């Protein structure tokens, strides 16, 4: 398992091309980042030692790395004298709403997270052009797409991530499941075998973002042209209700919800991961970002990643750039923020944290990592990259996915039926578009 990430970046490129080609197009422009600045000048400006006794604020959403990010900030302060104040909001919190409130209060964090595409539009008055940064030349080309507008790069891709059904190989073996289920019929059969063996098939969560973003995206990603479908739904010329793919998608949703633990309506994200890691269920819908939290409970678990199938076609995992670091031009110290981000991906310390501590699949081709560092789930993401589909939710206006999540919560709780769920997904789009 000592494969180096550098040797498989071609595969990672393939997975992102496959994903973006299936709807990951940029409605605000695409292509690589442009720069007319001489490389020597750009590098010198970006890597110049920042001033001492400066504090920059990082308003970030990734709860899985909160502890490690705080430790990284301490390392940076030791090396440079610049203090990085990390404030984390995620998991069950609405990061987007909290970021808006933070800015409305008069606070302007130097660095914040943004998914790109439509989500970037409200922040274009603050987003700094990072095209001339030395790390930009090392990015996987299509990783730039979500934060690229008119040929300029307005964010540093955080990493590459993939999700599907993480499964416990030992529990599958106990239930007599010898092959990974790839179709919906095979997934149903696996759930039945697990139940017969006294094993809970799925650990579900009530989190709006897990259902409203990741699960709904399966129906979006399987459209013949996801980007066009989303544009048509926003325009009101197509609907989710009556769409053949979404009608079949409901069958996948039912398999997960109907075979989940009894207390699924009260299970938050942290509990979902902890219960799965404790062996209380065989599968959960999540991605490689959970590896660190799983390892804290049982680092010896033998894990794999299953595709998310619709109908009886072989399913796929879903892969993309989860978020971007935006440098806020209206903050007090944007240049120090640039220097910190450059240090993060170029210094030995920063790269160690990205791979060994954060367990990220880096978006930069120059960063290598042992498979043992990034974890079993990340390795599985790489291995299943050739057929991966993309992430499409950030093509919707802000607020739509929250509406998706609310509708999914009602369906999880049995308050609405299948037809009403699809109607509410359509309504979630139109309620925001009409505003």
pLDDT in tens, 43-68: 444 445 545 689 999 999 999 899 99
The residues facing 4 across adjacent strands are 370
At 292-320, the pLDDT tens digits run 899 999 999 999 999 999 988 999 999 99
Query: Which has the higher per-residue pLDDT, 365 or 296?
Result: 296
Strand extents, DSSP E, 83-229: 83-88, 111-114, 148-149, 152-153, 156-157, 161-168
pLDDT of amino acid 52 = 66
Taken in order 371, 374, 378, 380, is the CA torsion positive or negative? positive
At 125-164, the pLDDT tens digits run 999 999 999 999 999 887 898 999 999 999 999 998 999 9
At 367-387, the pLDDT tens digits run 887 888 899 999 999 889 778
Task: Say yes or no to pLDDT of 28 above 60.
Answer: no
Round to whole Å and give the CA distance between 272 and 163.
15
Q: What percent of the chain has pLDDT over 70?
A: 88
The three-class DSSP label of residue 325 is strand
The listed range with the strongest mean pLDDT (88-102, 171-185, 389-403) is 171-185
pLDDT of amino acid 25 = 33
Tell me the pLDDT of the chain averaged across its residues: 88
pLDDT of amino acid 142 = 72
Strand extents, DSSP E, 334-397: none
Rounded mean pLDDT of 325-337? 97
pLDDT of amino acid 369 = 77
Nearest 5°: CA angle at 156, between 357 and 403?
Answer: 90
What residues contact residue 326 under an 8 Å CB cut-off, 6+ apart?
111, 112, 113, 114, 120, 123, 126, 127, 128, 147, 154, 155
Task: Say yes or no to pLDDT of 429 above 80.
Answer: yes
User: Shortest CA distance to 285 belongs to which of 207, 202, 206, 222?
Assistant: 202
How does residue 29 score in pLDDT terms, banded at 50, 70 and 90? very low
Task: Say yes or no to pLDDT of 6 above 60.
Answer: no
pLDDT of amino acid 285 = 98
Task: Say yes or no to pLDDT of 401 above 90.
Answer: yes
Taken in order 271, 274, 277, 281, is the CA torsion positive or negative? negative
């Amino acid at each position: 398992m000592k494969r180096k990430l550098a040797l498989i970046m071609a595969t990672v490129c393939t997975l992102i091309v496959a994903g973006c080609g299936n709807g990951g197009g940029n409605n605000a422009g695409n292509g690589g980042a442009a720069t007319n600045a001489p490389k020597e000048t750009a590098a010198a400006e970006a890597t110049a030692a920042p001033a001492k006794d400066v504090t920059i604020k990082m308003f970030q959403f990734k709860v899985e790395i909160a502890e490690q990010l705080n430790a990284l900030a301490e390392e940076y302060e030791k090396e440079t004298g610049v203090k990085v104040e990390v404030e984390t909001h995620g998991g069950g919190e609405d990061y987007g709403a909290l970021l808006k409130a933070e800015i409305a209060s008069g606070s302007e964090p130097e660095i914040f997270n943004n998914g790109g595409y439509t989500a970037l539009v409200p922040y274009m008055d603050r987003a700094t052009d990072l095209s001339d940064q030395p790390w930009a030349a090392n990015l996987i080309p299509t990783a730039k797409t979500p934060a690229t507008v008119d040929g300029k790069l307005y964010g540093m891709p955080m990493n590459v991530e993939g999700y599907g059904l993480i499964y416990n190989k030992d529990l599958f073996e106990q239930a007599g499941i010898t092959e990974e289920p790839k179709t919906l019929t095979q997934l149903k059969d696996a759930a039945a075998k697990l139940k017969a063996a006294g094993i809970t098939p799925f650990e579900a969560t009530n989190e709006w973002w897990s259902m409203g973003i990741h699960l709904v995206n399966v129906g979006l990603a399987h459209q013949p042209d996801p980007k066009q479908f989303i544009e048509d739904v926003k325009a009101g010329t197509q609907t989710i209700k009556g769409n053949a793919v979404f009608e079949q998608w409901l069958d996948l949703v039912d398999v997960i919800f109907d075979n989940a633990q009894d207390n699924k309506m009260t299970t938050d994200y942290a509990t979902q991961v902890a219960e799965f890691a404790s062996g209380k269920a065989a599968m959960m819908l999540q991605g490689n970002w959970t590896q660190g939290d799983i390892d804290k409970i049982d680092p010896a678990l033998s894990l794999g990643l299953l595709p998310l199938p619709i109908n009886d076609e072989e399913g796929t995992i879903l892969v993309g750039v989860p978020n971007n670091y935006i440098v806020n031009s209206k903050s007090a110290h944007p240049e120090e923020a640039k220097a910190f981000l450059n240090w993060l991906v170029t210094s030995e310390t920063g790269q160690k944290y990205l791979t060994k501590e954060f367990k990220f699949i880096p978006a930069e081709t120059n960063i290598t990592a042992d498979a043992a560092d990034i974890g079993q789930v990340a390795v599985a993401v790489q291995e299943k990259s050739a057929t991966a589909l993309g992430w499409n939710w950030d093509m919707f206006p802000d607020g739509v996915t929250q509406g998706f999540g609310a509708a999914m919560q009602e369906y999880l709780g049995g308050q609405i039926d299948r037809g009403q769920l699809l109607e509410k997904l359509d309504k979630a789009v139109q309620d925001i578009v009409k505003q």
